[in-house]
Amino acid sequence: MKKLIILSLTLVMAFGAIAQEGLLSSKQLMDRNLYPSYPMRMFQFVQGNKITYYQDGKQYIVSFSKGKLGTPAEYTAPEKKEADASEKRIARPKGDNLYVTFGDKKWDSESLNTHAGLVFGQSVHRNEFGINGGIFWSPNKNKLAFYMMDESMVAEYPMVKTSKNGIAKAQPFRYPMAGEKSHEVQVGILTADLKPLFLQTRKDNSVEEREMYLTNLTWSPDEKYLYIAKINRQQNHMWLERYDVATGKLDKVLFEEENSRYVEPCEGLYFLPNNPNQFLWFSMKDGYKHLYLYNTDGKEIKQLTKGNYEVEGIIGFDKKGDNLFIYANKDNFIGRAAYKVNMKSGEMKLLTSKEGTHTVVINEQGTMMVDLYSSVNIPARGVVIDLVSGKQAELFSSENPLAKDYAMPGIQTGTIKAADGKTDLYYRLITPPHMEQGKKYPTLVYVYGGPHSQLVTDSWLAGGNLYFLYLAQQGYVVYTVDNRGTDNRGFEFESCTHRQLGTIEMADQLEGVKFLQSLPYVDKDRMGVEGWSFGGFMTITMKLAHPEIFKVACAGGPVIDWRWYEIMYGERYMDMPSENPDGYANNCLISKAKDLDGRLLVIHGAEDNTVVWQHSIEFIEACINNGKLVDYFFYPHHEHNVRGSERVHLYEKMFDYYETHLK
C-alpha cells in the first residue's frame, strides 16, 4: 500500500480519485465529499418535486416521485423578463467608506468620514457575536442599515510589511486589547432619499454607552423597524431593542437577558412567515441553546425546543409556517441531524439518520428534502427523501478515496470522564495501519480546547485531516479530546472555564493523557502535544506544567498573555484585567517560561492580526532570560495561520521536528 505523500496535505485537499456512483461526478464533488460544509446552492428544488444540480459545468434537473428518481436532463433556468428593482440597489465597502446605488442615484460615506479611524459598512466588534459583515438590506431592499465604527480612540498596533522589492513599510492597525479603550459603533439607516439617519442607540454620551456592542441586526418584515441586541462591555447584560428607522428613536426594549458569567447572542430574530408579529429567538437561558417564541411586544409565548441538547441552526419553515426545520445534536452530541418541529405542539421529529453530520435543503412545501452527510467512516452520501411517505433515493455515494491506494490508519471515537469524574468528553484516536503486537508508538496530542470549538465530530475522518493520517502512517498515534470549555454541550460545559482559561481545560486534557497511557501500544515516554491559537496557548501551558509527560511540543500562533488579546473575546471569558488580576496572572505563560524542559517549537505568522506577534516574541525573551533553550520559526507574510502552498512547508517543518526529537 502506498503512503500518503506530504504534498497531499494542503488545505485544498484536492483528491482526484474519489469513486462516485449516481448522478454526480468526482470532479464536481472532489473536495465537498470530505467534509459536511456542502455548498447547498448546488441543489435546488423547483416545481415542488424536481431537483436541479450542477455537474461538469452544466445544470441538470431530475424529478423525484414515489421514491424513485427520473432520468436526468439538461436544465436551463427561465430568464427573467425584466430586472427586479432590488437588483439595481447595491452596497459595497471600499477602503474605509461605503458606496451605495439606489437605481440611478448614488451615495457614499466620504463626506461623513471626517477623521482617521472612521470605518463604514464593515464588520465590527472584531467579528464576535456572529457578526460577519456591516451591510444589512431590508427584506425588499427599500432601506439599508450599516455599521459606522469609530476606531480613532483605539491604540494603533505596529505592523511592518516587508518586501524583497524595497524598504519595509509600516502598516499599523487598530487593535483593542483587554482592559484598554474599545472602539465605538453606531448604526446608520439609508433610504432612497439618500439622507443617512443614525439610530439613537445611546442613552447619553457616557463611555459606558459608547462602548456598547450592537449586534444581531434584524429588519422587521414591514421594514419599519430595526431590532438590535445591545450588550454592555462587561458582556453580562443584553437588551433586545427595537428602533423606528423613520425617526431613529428607540421604540421599545422587548426584553433583557443577564448572566453572572456572560451573554453571547449570535443569531438575529427569525420572524414567522405566517405571522409578522411573532419571532423566534435563540437563548441559552435554560442552560442549552434553544428556541423561544416571542411576540413583538416582547412577551415570551413559549419555549419551542427544550432538553439537554443544542439547536445548532434554523433551516427554514414550510410554506404555511406550521412547521420549522432545524439542526440539532439531540441524538448525537458529536453529530448534527435535521428535525421538524411543529410550531403549535412543539413535537420534534427526526428527519435524517442519527449518525453523521447532515446538511439539508428542503422544498418550499416542506414535503421533500435533499440530505447530504458524512460520518466517521462515510466520506459523503446524498439522498433525496419524501418527508410524507418516508421513501428515499440515493443521489450519490462516495467510497473511501484513500482505502484503495493508501494504507488507511485506524480511526475511532469514544468517551472518557472529565477531571470532575462525571462529565463525558469525546475523543478521536487515530492509530498507525498494520500495528505490530507488543510495539509501542510515539503519540501526539492535538489540542485546541477553546470556546466555540468542537474538533471531534461524527463526520468524515471524525473531524480530522490528512495531516493526522500522514502522521499515523509514519508510526504515530494521534489523539484529540474536546475538553470542557468547548462547544455544543450546554452553557455550563462551555462557561465553567470563565475567568481561568487554561485551568480546567488542562485538567481534562490530562485525563486524556491517563487514557492514552493505559493503552498497551502508546509509548508514554514519547508523547508530544501540538496546537494552534488557543490550542497554541494550551500546548505551551501543558508543556510547561508537565514536561515529564510531554517530551516535545509544537505551538502555533499561541496566546501567551490574555492582556494582549482583543477586548471582545478576552473580556468575555476572562473579564477585564482589573476585575480578574489573579486569573490573568495565573494563566500568563511569561512567568512560567522558567519551567521549560525538553523541546518546544513556537511558530508564528509575522503579520498575525489576531494573536499579535508580541505574544511569542515576549515568551521567547522570557525563555532567554531564564536560560531556557527554545526553538522558534516564523512565516514572514502570513497572518494567524499558514495558508496556500506554504501550508505544506508548515507540515513538513512540524513533522521533521517530531522525527528528530520525538520518534
Catalytic residue set: 533, 608, 640
Q: Residue 54 corresponds to which cell in the numbers above?
A: 450542477
Strand partners, 361: 370
Rounded to the nearest angstrom, the gap between the alpha carbon of residue 30 and the centroid of all alpha carbons in its chain is: 23
Q: Residue 86 corresponds to which cell in the numbers above?
A: 432590488
Provide the terminal-to-terminal Cα distance of the chain, rounded to the nearest Å.
Answer: 22
Q: Which residue has the cell 451615495?
A: 107
Within 10 Å of residue 622's Cβ, how many Cβ atoms? Answer: 19
Helix (H, G, I), strand (E, B) or coil at 599: strand
**Residues 38, 57: Cα–Cα separation, whole Å:** 17
3-state secondary structure 104-131: CEEEECCCCCCCCCEEECCCCHHHCCCC
Within 10 Å of residue 449's Cβ, how many Cβ atoms? Answer: 29
**Residues 641, 650: Cα–Cα separation, whole Å:** 10
Strand order in the sheet with 89-94: 89-94, 97-102, 105-108
Which residues have C-beta within 8 Å of that of residue 239, sequence separation ≥ 6?
229, 230, 231, 253, 256
Q: Residue 79 corresponds to which cell in the numbers above?
A: 430568464
**Residues 480, 447: Cα–Cα separation, whole Å:** 6
3-state secondary structure 223-261: CCEEEEEEECCCCCEEEEEEEECCCCCEEEEEEEEECCC
Amino acid, single-letter form, for residue 30 = M
Which residues have C-beta within 8 Å of that of residue 613, sequence separation ≥ 6?
604, 605, 606, 634
Phi, psi of 19 (to 5 degrees): -75, 130
**Residues 603, 554: Cα–Cα separation, whole Å:** 8
DSSP 8-state secondary structure symbol assigned to residue 8: G
Round the CA-based radius of gyration of the chain to a whole number and report it. Answer: 26
Phi, psi of 490 (to 5 degrees): 105, 160
Burial label, 74 (beta-carbon count in 10 A; 0-12, 13-18, 19+): exposed
